[in-house]
Amino acid sequence: MTKKKFLAIVVTLATTLFFTGCSAYKDNLAGNLMTQLNGRFQITRSPQQQFYDLINGLQVKVEPTQPQPSSNSNIRSMSNLGLFSTPTITYVRSMGFKEMRSGQDFSLIITINKADINTWNGKVDITLGVKMMDPSGSIVFNQESITSEKNALDVSKALNEAYTKALEQINWVQIASFLKVEKLAKNEPNKQVEGLGTTALEQTIIRWDIQSRPQGADIFWRVVSKTPDVKSTNNKYLTTTPYEATKALDIRGLTYQTAGNVRIILRCEKDGYLPQEKEYDVRMVLDQEEISAFFRLVKE
């Protein structure tokens, strides 16, 4: 073997070992980075929207996906990892979306289609898919491709920010609209109030506005019923005047059909003044969605 050929072999071996070592070093660094990202992931900001008047529940599921092959050896994927699930569900819950009734809730599935990290330049690519199904399993909302990317020296912050931006692009208002579909009590004439919140009667919000002159009088209310399905009650203390509130009626056994046979009696009392009462037809209260009263008290 000539000296020249020997040197060529040595150079080739050295070059191979060099690049092999570099590749192993890079893989080691990338592995360490992915471990750090997994432990530091968090959603950067609280939701920008809140929903308080939802009458249907929502179950939330975050689905991972298998990474797509990439020709770039610097790309590492996190789409098949479970780190996004708990923070995402907590984020959705904090907007007011809650599970209410098993088997009757809507379902929201957020799919992690892509969560790629370029370990060489710190670029993060996120792609989410969102679909919502009603209790029967029919798809009522679909937002197929929500993309977000971020490039930063701190890859952990880039990941957190990119994922948060992707969540903020979801049309939460439209999702909430499916959970606000109001049912009218008159369209459920024979459904009884059972205290489970499943009837339109229980979801009918009544505005209470009770005033007196002078103020500071005690307000009591009771139910008087002519139907066997609803029990009459004794006076229950409500509050003192003035009283303004919005809340639903909780009269067990009541239906819209029988509401015309049920009365609500308001009683106003104050030391040194004669007590007064006002009577309300519950059917009328449901239709008008209001109980309004003014007591001009008379001294004894």
Q: How does pLDDT run across 244-258, given as a tens digit for each residue?
A: 988 888 899 999 999
Rounded to a whole number, what is the distance in angstroms from the first to the last CA of the chain?
128
How far is residue 64's CA from residue 125's CA, in Å, rounded to a whole number?
A: 15
Residue 225 has φ and ψ, to the nearest 5°, of: -120, 140
Residue in the block written with tokens 């004894």: 300
How far is residue 119's CA from residue 218's CA, in Å, rounded to a whole number?
A: 70
So what's the pLDDT on residue 181?
59
To the nearest 10°, report the CA torsion of 285, 219, 252, 207: 40
- Residues ≥6 apart with Cβ < 8 Å to 123: 117, 149, 150, 151, 158
Q: How does pLDDT run across 27-70, given as a tens digit for each residue?
A: 544 455 566 666 688 998 999 889 887 888 999 999 999 998 88
How far is residue 166's CA from residue 112's CA, in Å, rounded to a whole number?
A: 11
Which tokens hold the place of 82?
């479970």
Residue 182 has φ and ψ, to the nearest 5°, of: -80, 135
Q: How does pLDDT run across 165-193, given as a tens digit for each residue?
A: 999 999 998 999 888 756 677 777 888 88
Residue in the block written with tokens 């639903």: 248
- 213 close to 297: Cβ distance less than 8 angstroms: yes
For residue 129, the cross-strand partners are 111
How far is residue 270's CA from residue 17's CA, in Å, rounded to a whole number?
A: 96
Q: Considering the chain, what is the average pLDDT of its residues? A: 85
- Residues ≥6 apart with Cβ < 8 Å to 5: none
Residue stretches of the chain with pLDDT short of 50: 6-26, 28-30
Q: Return the half-sphere exposure (C-beta side, CA atoms, 13 A cut-off) of residue 36.
A: 14
How far is residue 45's CA from residue 297's CA, in Å, rounded to a whole number?
A: 53
Indicate the helix (H) or strand (E) that contains 222: strand 218-225
